[in-house]
Amino acid sequence: MSPDLLAHRFEHAYRAHSAAVLGYLLRRTEPPEDAADLTAEVFTVAWRRVADMPPGDEARLWLYGVARNVLSNHRRSRLRRHRLADRLREHLSRSPHVHHGDARHDGADHVRAALATLPERDREVIALTAWEGMTPAEIAVVLGLDPGTVRSRLSRARTRLRAALADQDRIPC
């Protein structure tokens, strides 16, 4: 089958059945916002397997089958994430080096408050440096940037953090 014919088959299936697939997923997902992502995943599978998609109204049924599989995978992934989060919470609650609530020392709350005033991209480069112990070259890989760009951002972010900390020191408590 020619690529043009396959593209036409996919476009027709999308126009004809995307609302039905979205409705199917909306009625089965929580939160409902997940349904849009799952619908996109269904049609990603359909695009990859368009040659396997049956013609006519059978395509709708085939798409429902794909949606059912995508939804099952989504539910299994969510269950695994919840189990992992539960294990992580349990581990962190027993970890002696994790500070909780009022147990924070050494001005950590002061620094966190100053960090909260910074733009997200400043917070990110500072956190990757200070909390994760990454070098600018490593941060560049994580953020998909040039290492020189990261060094510049880090320098500006540190300047802004120092200013935010100084502003906090000037505010009477």
pLDDT for the residue numbered 93: 76
Output the six-digit token pair for 60. 């709708």
C-alpha distance across the termini of the chain, in Å: 74
Residuewise pLDDT in 10s, the chain (173 residues): 788 888 999 999 999 999 999 999 999 998 889 999 999 999 999 999 999 999 888 999 999 999 999 999 999 998 998 888 888 888 777 766 555 444 444 567 788 888 889 999 899 999 898 888 889 999 999 999 999 999 999 999 999 999 988 888 776 55
Distances (CA, A) of 135 to 124, 126, 128, 154: 13, 11, 8, 10
pLDDT for the residue numbered 72: 94
Identity of the residue numbered 148: G
Q: Which residue has the tokens 């009022």?
A: 102
Encode pLDDT of 108-154 as tens digits. 778 888 888 999 989 999 989 888 888 999 999 999 999 999 999 99
pLDDT for the residue numbered 1: 76
pLDDT for the residue numbered 74: 94
Determine if the pTM surpasses 0.85: no
Distances (CA, A) of 47 to 12, 70, 72: 12, 14, 19
pLDDT for the residue numbered 107: 63
